[in-house]
Amino acid sequence: MDYQQRGCARCGAVVHVANYPRKPRGLQADVEPGVVLRHSFCCSRDGCRRRLTPPSMRFLGPKVYAAPIVLVAAALLVALALARLPWSKGHAGVPARTARRWSHFFREDLPRQPVWLRLTGAFVPPLPSLTLLPLSLLARWGPLSPGAVDECLRAIASLTTRCRLHPS
């Protein structure tokens, strides 16, 4: 979808690129500069100036860790709990409390989102249990791999923005 060509949904004015840098945790220090940009647009009309952020596979909303880290760490926490193993901060440098908060997001907050209803309607058979999220969700795209993480993040990308240029 070309957000710039469509213009601002509120006032119809031209929309400018207004990308801004993020400093996501969990990435290597030598990551390419473009990877840490949050793609965004801004209405050009004074008085409106609405910031519009399209869905992202890099960042899950305001979370400070990169989206793949959030997804994999929350899934790892579930897997460790199933195996009755403790969490270690060595897992991507993520503190246990943070991983538990992410796991809570996937178990409690994600199922209340409209994107979840659309997504789960496509799963046959349905996901076994909300208590296994995000591990069960990630497993829908096969064994843990960069491709599976990408597909899962693509599926939930609309969670990463509150503003939309045009209703879909």
Instruction: Give the 3-state DSSP-derived string for 108-151, with helices as H, strands as E and coil as C.
Output: HHHHHCHHHHHHHCCCCCCCCCHHHCCHHHHHCCCCCCHHHHHH
Report the C-alpha gap between 81 and 56 in whole angstroms: 29
Residue 62, domain member (yes or no):
no
Phi first, then psi, for residue 77 (nearest 5°) are -60, -40
Co-location of 47 and 97 in the same domain = no
Which neighbouring-strand residues pair with 20? 38
Go through the chain and tell me how many residues it has.
168
The answer as to whether 120 is a domain residue is yes
pLDDT in the model for residue 19: 83
Q: Is residue 80 part of a domain?
A: yes
Cβ neighbours of residue 145 closer than 8 Å, sequence gap 6 or more: none
Q: Which domain holds residue 127?
A: 67-159
Same domain as 40, residue 76: no
One domain for residues 80 and 146: yes
Pick out the chain residues at pLDDT < 70.
Answer: 1, 3, 24-35, 61-63, 89-92, 160-168
Partnered with residue 38 across adjacent β-strands are 20
Residue 159: C-alpha distances to residues 10, 73, 156 (Å): 21, 18, 6
Interatomic CA distance for residues 96 and 86, integer angstroms: 9
Output the pLDDT for position 149: 92
Looking at the fold, whether 154 and 117 belong to one and the same domain comes out as yes
In a domain, 98, yes or no: yes
pLDDT of 166 reads: 35
* Same domain membership, residue 78 and residue 106: yes
Let me know if residue 168 belongs to a domain.
no
pLDDT for position 7: 84
Instruction: Give the per-residue pLDDT at 32.
Output: 63
Query: Are residues 126 and 47 part of one domain?
Result: no
